[in-house]
Amino acid sequence: MNTQYDTLIIGGGHNGLTTAAYLARAGRKVLVLERRHVLGGAAVSEEIYPGFKYTVCSYVVSLLRPEVIRELDLPRHGLEILPVDSSFVPMQASRGDYLALWSDPATTREEIKRHSPRDADAYPEFNQMMYNMGFAVKPILGMVPPDPLAPGLDDVRGLLDLLKHFKGLEAKTIHQLTKLMTMSAADFLDEWFETDVLKALTAINGIIGTMLGPRSPGTAYVMLHHFMGELDGAFTVWGFQKGGTGGVSQAIAGAARRFGAELRCNAAAAQVIVKNGQAVGVALESGEEIYAKTIVSGLDPRQTFLKLVEPKHLPGDFVHAIRNFKFRGSSGKVNLALDGLPTFTSMPDPALLQGMIEICPSLDYVEQAYDDAKYGDFSRRPYLDVLIPSTIDPTLAPPGKHIMTIFVQYAPYKLNGGWDDQKREAFGDAVINTLAEFAPNIKDVILHRQVLTPWDLEQEFGLTEGNIFHGELTLDQLFFLRPAPGWARFRTPIRNYYQCGSGTHPGGGITGGPGRLAALEILKDWK
Amino acid sequence: MPRFTPFYSRTSALCASHSWQEWSGFLSANMYELHHVREYYAIRTAAALMDISPLYKYHLHGPDALKLLNRVVTRNVSKCAVGQVMYTPWCDERGKVIDDGTIARLEENLYRLTAADPNLRWFQDNAIGLDVQIDDVTESIAAVALQGPLSRDILNALSSSPVSGLHYYRLMQTTIAGVSATISRTGYTGDLGYEIWIAPADAERLWDALMETGQPYKLRAAGQLALDMARIEAGLLLVAVDFVSAKKTLFEVQKSTPFELGLGWAVKLDKSNFVGREALRKEKKRGPAWATVGLEVHWESLEQIYRSFGMPIHLPESAWSIAVPVYADGRQIGKATSGMWSPILKKYVVLARIEPRYAKPGTPVSMEVTIEAHRKQAAATVVTLPFFNPERKRK
């Protein structure tokens, strides 16, 4: 048997690479197996159209854990996150009102005041409250989930730490936190604001990657998850990685290589080889078999447990729990190569083209977009999260040309009649038509269009049902319940088989959190 | 994107230093010349003109305006007569200071409130069930502060009715160079001085008239640096420097009560219920955790420390506002939040928050100073605030 490796990691996504880097740093011999020709998973930059570098799937960064940046020294390997400092929401098709939020609080205040003087006061207080909620919840992101029902020594220690932390919080904070955990984003925001468009823009954080609408209970918490980003110690700031989010993966890969990890592309794992209830190796689709002491899967829970291993190796209730883990991909992606910049008719200042452009003119608009999806259609007028990264990083496109990334919600994985080429194009058309309502010249400047439906995300990137977070980030699937009760500590019912993807705690987004925590647990077991 | 006050055409023409800071989103001059010292002396020996338009201003009117004010602020506004102005802080339900400002009773049922931070929502939320209208008039009222011993003479030369009879913390309606104005005898310098409230359209006319008439009185425009020195001498606290608004922080350790800030005199526990009263009542019984005091840093001690580095004494040229530790009995007992060398008093004066048992005037303490990045402790004495309190302020 070929056992030159200590650890095999299936999937070269950013979490798999993170685990590889940490294990290699600890002196383990690590091999990463990536199915595609490029590392990064859903955090990739690819030149899909000549001269234009698309940030294909994920497109902004903020949740990347500071300890991962620090411990892997990612800036040394090319991490360079540029600020995205405004949000612009056109409110009516054609010429009309808008909402613009700037990085400068005084200008933002004036702008909100135009809509509601009360909300201008409430906005900084709301952000401060969310900042505080983030402060309250953040320690959880960096800890291995203790199991409150079957506590071992580590669990008890973890629970005590948590208890101590929560005891230190103000009663007001705990009250707000309880509300956040139970309410819908819309209801929660109703308690703060009267400006509908401001509520729509904020509620978006509660629906991204989730098959829920802003009025569905539970979305307030998802909103908090997106408020926990930080850059240079400042909470809730989003940024764009130079070169696209593939640059983040490249930086982590660079760190892994420096520590001695081996990274292999075009190496699709077919099966984890299990002998006597113990994982011993990986069989590749090519027929090659590689053996190692531990096997780690960075794929999502369904792939990790129902595809890579045979169910006979797993307890029945566990299989049941994984089968019930909700994926329900709800979003798609459209990437464009542009001949020039689009003109948004209601945009008061072209500087806003360098920030996020949000097509969410009202809460009803977003809820109606969800209504379509609830019954199996993609939204005729979807919510769009638009960014023109080439205005921030001009190296992504030829001079004067641009790329545009459009995150689209809702596009249900389980589309009536299923997805096909025709429906993909119809979906792409719906996105462009919606955008054209606000930027009529968009169709004239499109040089190339890439449309990714949840089905494509599953096929191309291995994301089950096209869920960008390896499973929804709702409370019932978080912390000690992610991905299944009793198995949230990165181990699995199969000995020497571990999980390190976004389907584990603390969940999806470019965080590096699962990858890091998994590595630390694996190293604990090694001793 | 900065905004410009109604006086900007005049202030920008004078601002040779091009040194500005942001004040509530508006550009505000730090100093007009390359050094602020002449502006400081203008405040104390002649007169200075300062654009204070960025102050947040609210009009509260309606039958329940008084009720609302009494419900929110700590002072008893029932005692505020028409034509009177009151300084007051206001607190959250736990008695922590949110902001402070002045309340001017313009008419029987019309009050104007000034504030450092936006407070519309806070007052509206507390007005539920009350018959009162709250309007943000920040941008519909322009304002200047005319401060200094000669300010009265300048106004008397310009005002249609003399200001000589205007008492401290009172206001009057008048016409200045044809501009209809409200003059209040208030300010942030602790000196004789006035604040003039007008319509923004009249701003340039008023400014020009004041500057022209003020010329023989050596009136000059003054910026934030000079004002900062004057307010420290006057023992006046600055929000976000000497204390943090309870609305701006969620962390208890950063919040303060009026008692801790030396504003206990402005807390009227015996009036009808107001936001924070219960907490403040308890605190008064228990005694506050902190006391705000003045410190005078000893010249000799400072000089000796410098000498140990082979250097002559060096004094700050402007006010500093980065907090440093205060020590007594070999341990830290609080912090100094702002301080300066007072050219008028010839003293090194400091505002500090320390443990109450050290707050008695005359108590010896020490304050951290760093010389070439070496930490040293300079001897200081606790003194009563304000440091500077000329008779002319009230007379």
pLDDT digits (tens, 9 = 90+) for B122-140: 999 999 999 999 999 999 9
- Identify the closest residue of chain A to B246 by CA–CA distance: A125
The H-or-E segment that residue A279 falls in is strand A278-284
Decide the pairing of beta strands A30-33 and A5-10: parallel
Q: What is the pLDDT of residues B136-159, one digit of tens each?
A: 999 999 999 999 999 999 999 999
CB contact under 8 A, A121 and B252: no
Min distance A173 CA to chain B CA atoms (Å): 9
Mean pLDDT of A29-35: 98
Q: HSE of A10 in the Cβ direction (CA atoms, 13 Å)?
A: 32
Residue with tokens 């009009």: B59
Q: Is A25 helix (H, G, I), strand (E, B) or coil?
A: helix
Which 336-365 residues of chain B touch chain A by CB within 8 A?
none
- Identify the closest residue of chain A to B135 by CA–CA distance: A117
Q: Which two tokens stand for residue B258?
A: 């009026």
Does position A233 have pLDDT exceeding 60, yes or no? no
Mean pLDDT of A7-35: 98
Cα–Cα dist A218/A208, whole Å: 12
Is the pLDDT higher at A143 or at B391? B391
Residues of B in contact with A135 (CB under 8 A): 250
Assess contact for B354 and B291: CB atoms under 8 A. Answer: yes
**Band of residue A45 on the pLDDT scale cut at 50, 70, 90:** very high
Q: What is the pLDDT of residues A149-168, one digit of tens each?
A: 777 888 888 888 888 887 87
Residue with tokens 């400042």: A234
Does position A1 have pLDDT exceeding 90, yes or no? no
Does position B385 have pLDDT exceeding 80, yes or no? yes
Q: What is the pLDDT of residues A57-114, one digit of tens each?
A: 999 888 898 899 999 999 999 999 998 889 999 998 767 899 999 988 999 999 999 9
CB contact under 8 A, A170 and B119: no
Mean pLDDT of B219-241: 97
CATH code assigned to B56-129+257-287: 3.30.70.1400
Specify the range with the lowest mean pLDDT, choosing from A63-67, A171-175, A424-428, B216-220.
Answer: A171-175
Is the pLDDT higher at B10 or at A147? B10
Decide if B136 touches A, using CB distance below 8 A.
yes
Residues of A in contact with B2 (CB under 8 A): 106
Assess contact for B266 and B374: CB atoms under 8 A. Answer: no
| Strand spans (E) along B10-131 | 19-23, 26-31, 47-51, 56-61, 85-91, 97-107, 110-115
Q: HSE of B267 in the Cβ direction (CA atoms, 13 Å)?
A: 24
Residues of B in contact with A170 (CB under 8 A): 250, 252
CB contact under 8 A, B118 and A120: yes
Q: Does domain A331-409+416-452 have CATH number 3.90.320?
A: no
Decide if A425 touches B, using CB distance below 8 A.
no
Q: What is the pLDDT of residues A294-332, one digit of tens each?
A: 999 999 999 999 999 998 999 999 999 999 999 999 999
DSSP state at residue B239 = B
∠ CA B166-B168-B171, rounded to 5°? 50
Q: Is A357 helix (H, G, I), strand (E, B) or coil?
A: strand
CA distances from B360 to B104, B290, B365 (A): 34, 12, 11
Q: What are the two backbone dihedrals, phi and then psi, of residue A356, each rounded to the nearest 5 degrees?
A: -75, 140
Residue with tokens 């996105």: A431
The confidence score (pLDDT) of residue A229 equals: 66
DSSP state at residue B112 = E
Min distance B232 CA to chain A CA atoms (Å): 27
Which 272-301 residues of chain A touch chain B by CB within 8 A?
none
DSSP state at residue A53 = E
CA A493 vs. chain centroid, Å, equals 27
Cα–Cα dist A284/B16, whole Å: 74
Decide if A129 touches B, using CB distance below 8 A.
yes
The confidence score (pLDDT) of residue A355 equals: 94
Q: What are the two backbone dihedrals, phi and then psi, of residue A124, each rounded to the nearest 5 degrees?
A: -65, -30
Give the domain ranges of chain A.
5-81+242-326+471-526, 119-225, 331-409+416-452
Min distance B292 CA to chain A CA atoms (Å): 26
Cα torsion A295, A297, A301, A305: sign: negative
Q: Which amino acid is at A370?
A: Y
Question: Helices in A360-476 by DSSP H: which ranges?
Answer: 363-374, 421-438, 442-445, 454-461
CB contact under 8 A, B250 and A120: no
Does position A502 have pLDDT exceeding 90, yes or no? yes
Residues of A in contact with B3 (CB under 8 A): 106, 110
Which CATH code of 3.20.20.70, 3.50.50.60, 1.10.10.10, 3.40.640.10 fits the domain covering A5-81+242-326+471-526? Answer: 3.50.50.60
β-sheet bridge partners, residue A262: A31
Specify the range with the lowest mean pLDDT, choosing from A372-381, A478-487, B208-217.
Answer: A478-487
Specify the range with the lowest mean pLDDT, choosing from A205-209, A362-366, B389-393.
Answer: A205-209
Cα–Cα dist A434/A442, whole Å: 10
Residues of B in contact with A122 (CB under 8 A): 121
Does position A356 have pLDDT exceeding 70, yes or no? yes
SS3 content of chain A, % helix, strand, coil (to 5): 40, 20, 40
Which of B120, B133, B251, B252 best tests the A interface by mutation, with the highest count of A CBs <10 A? B120
Residue with tokens 């932390």: A165
- Identify the closest residue of chain A to B247 by CA–CA distance: A125
Residue with tokens 């409110």: A91
The confidence score (pLDDT) of residue A118 equals: 96
Q: Does domain B291-392 have CATH number 3.40.50.970?
A: no
CA distances from B380 to B22, B262, B302, B320, B371 (A): 34, 19, 10, 17, 17
Q: What is the pLDDT of residues B172-214, one digit of tens each?
A: 999 999 999 999 999 999 999 999 999 999 999 999 999 999 9
Angle between helix A117-141 and A105-115 (nearest 10): 130
Give the domain ranges of chain B.
8-52+139-222, 56-129+257-287, 291-392
CATH code assigned to B8-52+139-222: 3.30.1360.120
∠ CA B168-B174-B175, rounded to 5°? 135
CB contact under 8 A, A125 and B119: no
CA distances from A348 to A111, A195, B323, B352 (A): 11, 19, 41, 47
CA distances from A75 to A72, A250, B54 (A): 9, 11, 42
Residues of B in contact with A102 (CB under 8 A): 1
CB contact under 8 A, B25 and A109: yes
Decide if A170 touches B, using CB distance below 8 A.
yes
The reported pTM is 0.91
The confidence score (pLDDT) of residue A192 equals: 96
Cα–Cα dist A65/A58, whole Å: 16
CA distances from B3 to B32, B98, B142 (A): 18, 25, 14
Provide the percentage of residues in chain A whose pLDDT is more than 90: 78
Which of B250, B251, B252, B255 best tests the A interface by mutation, with the highest count of A CBs <10 A? B250
CB contact under 8 A, B25 and A120: no
Q: Which two tokens stand for residue A31?
A: 């091999």
Cα–Cα dist B101/B138, whole Å: 14
Mean pLDDT of A200-209: 93
- Identify the closest residue of chain A to B139 by CA–CA distance: A110
Q: Is A354 exposed, middle or buried (0-12, 13-18, 19+ CB in 10 A)?
A: buried
Decide if B22 touches A, using CB distance below 8 A.
yes
Specify the range with the lowest mean pLDDT, choosing from A236-240, B199-203, B361-365.
Answer: A236-240
Mean pLDDT of A40-67: 93
Q: HSE of A399 in the Cβ direction (CA atoms, 13 Å)?
A: 0
Nearest to B87 by CA among B193, B194, B186, B228: B186
CB contact under 8 A, B250 and A132: yes
> Which residue among B122, B248, B252 sits closest to A170, beta carbon to beta carbon?
B252
Provide the percentage of residues in chain B whose pLDDT is more than 90: 98
Contacts of B18 (CB under 8 A, 6+ apart): none
Nearest to A45 by CA among A23, A78, A88: A78
**Band of residue A430 on the pLDDT scale cut at 50, 70, 90:** very high
Residues of B in contact with A131 (CB under 8 A): 250
Kindly provide the ipTM of the predicted complex, given to two decimals: 0.87
Assess contact for A54 and A32: CB atoms under 8 A. Answer: no
Nearest to A407 by CA among A451, A367, A368: A451
